[in-house]
Structure 1
Amino acid sequence: MEDTVGFTPATAIVTGSDSGIGRAIAVALARAGLDVGITWHSDQQGAQDTAEEIRALGRGTAIRQLDTTDIAGSAAVIDALADDLGGVDVFVNNAGTGDGVMFLDLDVDTWMRTLNTNLNGAFVCMQAAARRMVLAGHGGRIIAVTSVHESQPRVGAAAYDASKHGLGGLVKTMALELARFGITANSVAPGEIATPMTGQTDQDPTATDRPGIPLGRPGDAREVAAVVVFLASPASSYVTGASWAVDGGMLQMGPQAGSHITAHEWRETN
């Protein structure tokens, strides 16, 4: 990546990069010339597959298991990966989960597991990466993968919505506090993306009809990765505290509830 305003990234860590959006991001960053650290929660083979793609691009990689519900142990995993890579210039917090439980049925254990995975563990990991960047003294990029539900709620997603709203707010505060160190902090907020998390593994998103999304289809994980690569690059040097929706226009549907519409009549005036 070309240096602008004194920042030339060489290393990145992407959490939850054993599949889906995380894998696409890790591979895209490797293609952009970075060595990339990978974490996995339960799919070790998936992490190995991501690593093979990165090595095939001629970049270095390192792999560690990470359970972001282990709040006390998460920072040590990020530090270990940074040691493996020789530093961390870009940190992408992608690890996350959902639960699909209605508010009145939501038990405290499920609530805490979702919050710990998506918000509390993310805080610990991003803080560990930011501290490494500050000590290194040459700036950095922190990017959190949130969701369109960072700003819009969804029925059956009370804990998920709360965690993503919180993560988006955390990133904005980080942007204010880390700016003096030359570290930017931004969010990327995907809509429906064809990944294992949405039950669309290895499906072509362009072949799936989504009438309620203006672009008419789910997204591809590589479309999210492309935005992350920009935010990780020197070209984004004046971008911080922003949330980038990658949703095919879903959020613009507002009260029309884009992801739930099953026909195209809304596109017409009569």
Structure 2
Amino acid sequence: MSTGSSTGSGGSRVAVITGSDSGIGRAAAVRLAQDGMDIGITWHADRDGAEETAALVRDTGQRAAVRHLDLTRLPEAAEVVDQLADDLGRIDVLVNNAGTGTRTPFVDLDFPTVRDVLDIDLLGPFLCSQRAARRMIDQGDGGSFVNVTSVHEHQPRVGAAPYCAAKGGLGLLTQVMALELAEHGIRVNAVAPGEIATPMTGQEDEDVNAAPRPGVPLRRPGDAREVASVIAFLAGDESTYVTGASWAIDGGMLRMGPQAGSHLPDDSWRRV
């Protein structure tokens, strides 16, 4: 059974990363390129950002291909996975990173908002993964999926009903995929970030050590590169006996149980 060490026509493995125009997606693209992979990049609203990511990938000596992806246009949007696999010769890794959310009370949510969040955060990854899995099975030498969920795969948050529903669903989808694809040498895992300094949280390129978070045991937000390092581990050859797992990258926040929250105003919880 393959451990995922095969190479594409250009001599490199190929990773497709959705939503890689900024944030965690960009950090993952650069890190996987540094690990010797060619990278398929997608963008929704920021084409310039995607081209900047592509330039960073090419600076490492790896190939990059860029495609537009709008996961509210399903099922046809998932064709981008095949297009990028054709551009780069194959697909060995799919990182389902593109995502969105909302901060709206449950009773005030409108149907179009709920549908968009579920399409982007759950149904889009489902359909993109189907296309990548079929390719990997046909290639016959394994592969790896990394689904970017959230700490809210595991714990709820007020005002985030569709986001939590989608990320929880993606977490269980990860487990089902891991069971069904294992016989093909394909591994499927999730990373579950907490608060990460990205455009989604309005903190891209900030010094995370300068943003105190009393409610997080490590006292700060995370850096996108810290998430990318775990994605790289799960996508690579050092994790070949890991599948069906969800890796929290949250500075210890989930260990807070019912107290968890990056919004806590002080350190009083640290003392009896």
Deviation at 1:6, TM superposition (A): 5.9
Q: What is the CA–CA distance in structure 1 between the aligned matches of 2:260 and 2:85, rounded to whole Å?
A: 42
One-letter code aligned to 1:7: S
1:242 counterpart (242, 245, 250)? 245
Q: Distance in 2 between matches of 1:176 and 1:5?
A: 16
Is the Cα–Cα contact under 8 Å of residues 175 and 183 in structure 1 kept in the other structure? yes
Distance in 1, matches of 2:248 and 2:148, equals 10
Counterpart-to-counterpart distance in 2, 1:23 and 1:8: 24
Q: Which runs of 5+ in 1 are unaligned?
A: none
CA distance in structure 1 between the partners assigned to 2:131 and 2:193 by the alignment? 24
Aligned pair partner of 1:7 in 5, 16, 21: 5
The residue number in structure 2 matching 1:80 is: 83
Contact kept, 8 Å, 1:8 with 1:234, in 2: the verdict is no
1:217 aligns with 2:225: no
Give the whole-Å Cα distance in 1 for the aligned partners of 2:22 and 2:54: 11
2:158 counterpart (146, 152, 155): 155
- Whether the aligned pair in 2 keeps the contact of 1:184 and 1:239 (CA below 8 Å) is yes
Cα contact 1:12–1:37 (8 A) shared by 2: yes
Shift of 1:178: 0.1
* Separation in 2, partners of 1:121, 1:89: 19
CA displacement at 1:117 relative to structure 2: 0.7
Secondary structure of the residue aligned to 2:219 is coil
Aligned partner of 2:137 in structure 1 is 134
- Residue in structure 1 matching 2:179, options 155, 171, 176: 176
Note if 1:67 corresponds to 2:65.
no
1:114 aligns with 2:112: no
Which range moved further: 250-259 or 81-90? 250-259
Aligned length: 266
Which is worse superposed, 102-111 or 7-16? 7-16
RMSD: 1.0
Equivalent residue letter for 2:271: E
- The answer to whether structure 1 residue 267 and structure 2 residue 262 are counterparts is no
Alignment of 1:221-232 (within 5 A): 221-232=224-235
Q: Percent identity?
A: 60
Question: Corresponding residue for 2:100?
Answer: 97
CA contact 1:35–1:85 (8 Å) conserved in 2: yes
Could you tell me how far 1:5 is from its partner in structure 2? 4.0
Q: Distance in 1 between matches of 2:62 and 2:269?
A: 47
Corresponding letter in the other structure for 1:106: L
Whole-angstrom CA distance in 2 between matches of 1:241 and 1:90:
15
Note if 1:144 corresponds to 2:147. Answer: yes
User: CA 1:6 to 1:148, structure 2 compared with 1: closer, same or farther past 3 Å?
Assistant: closer
Q: Secondary structure at the match of 1:258?
A: coil
Question: Quick check: 39-48 or 8-17, which moved more?
Answer: 8-17
Secondary structure of the residue aligned to 1:51 is helix
What's the counterpart of residue 27 of structure 1?
Answer: 30
TM-score (norm 1): 0.96
